[in-house]
Each structure stands twice: as structure tokens, then as C-alpha cells.
């Protein structure tokens, strides 16, 4: 049986990869805390207006993914303490929005 050649880059993925949902990727930002608040507000509005449970789940996952990326950015040893603080604050903004969505998703959509 022939073995597959491994590329230099692993297939595991990781946190930083091309977006699957470009419309949500355009909204999510890590530039500043105020911009993250605006983005979270827009994501919440999209979540409220979503017609299907599938779309709500996609928006929730994108928000949680943004929080995870911000939390990972806060751990970057190359960043200054001020930058790390900004990343932590951004993570808190997205985590709060994701928590809000998780509560609403559980009450409106049936989970398996």
C-alpha cells in the first residue's frame, strides 16, 4: 500500500484559516474593543432575524470562534501587555455575545 506524501503544512487546521462564511467574516473584527462591540451587536441582530435554526447555529459558532481567536491572540508572547489586554477585552465582548446566543438558541431550537 502506497503512503501519502505529507505536505509541509499539517492538515489539522487550527484557528486561523480562510472563512467558510464570508458574510460573517466581514462583520467580525479585532481592530478595537469598540469595533468588536459593534460587530457583536450586528451579529446578535442577525441571530434574532435568522429564519432557520441552522443559520442561528452558524452565527453562534462564528461568534464563539471569534472569541476563541481573540483569546488565542491574548496569549501571543510577541504582543505587548497593552495589546494583550485589548485582545482579552475583545474576547470578553464576543464571549458575552456567544453566551447570549447560546441561551436564545436553546429556548427557540430543539437540540438533540
Give pLDDT, residue 17. Answer: 74
Rounded to a whole number of angstroms, the distance between the first and last alpha carbons of the chain is: 40
Tell me if 57 sits within 8 A of 65, measured CB to CB. no
Q: Is a pLDDT exceeding 70 seen at residue 29?
A: yes
Give pLDDT, residue 3. Answer: 63
| Mean pLDDT, range 80-95, rounded to an integer | 96
The rounded mean pLDDT for the chain is: 88
| Mean pLDDT, range 74-79, rounded to an integer | 93
> pTM here?
0.82
95 DSSP 8-state letter: H
Q: State the Rg of the chain over Cα.
A: 17
Q: Which of 53, 21, 41, 32 is nearest to 97 (CA)?
A: 41
Give pLDDT, residue 20. Answer: 86
Amino acid at each position: 500500500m502506497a503512503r501519502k506524501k505529507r505536505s509541509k503544512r499539517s492538515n489539522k487546521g487550527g484557528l486561523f484559516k480562510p472563512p467558510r462564511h464570508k458574510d460573517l467574516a466581514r462583520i467580525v473584527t479585532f481592530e478595537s474593543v469598540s469595533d468588536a462591540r459593534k460587530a457583536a451587536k450586528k451579529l446578535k441582530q442577525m441571530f434574532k432575524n435568522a429564519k432557520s435554526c441552522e443559520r442561528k447555529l452558524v452565527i453562534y459558532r462564528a461568534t464563539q470562534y471569534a472569541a476563541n481567536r481573540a483569546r488565542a491572540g491574548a496569549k501571543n508572547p510577541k504582543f505587548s501587555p497593552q495589546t494583550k489586554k485589548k485582545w482579552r477585552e475583545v474576547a470578553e465582548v464576543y464571549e458575552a455575545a456567544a453566551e447570549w446566543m447560546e441561551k436564545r438558541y436553546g429556548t427557540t431550537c430543539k437540540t438533540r
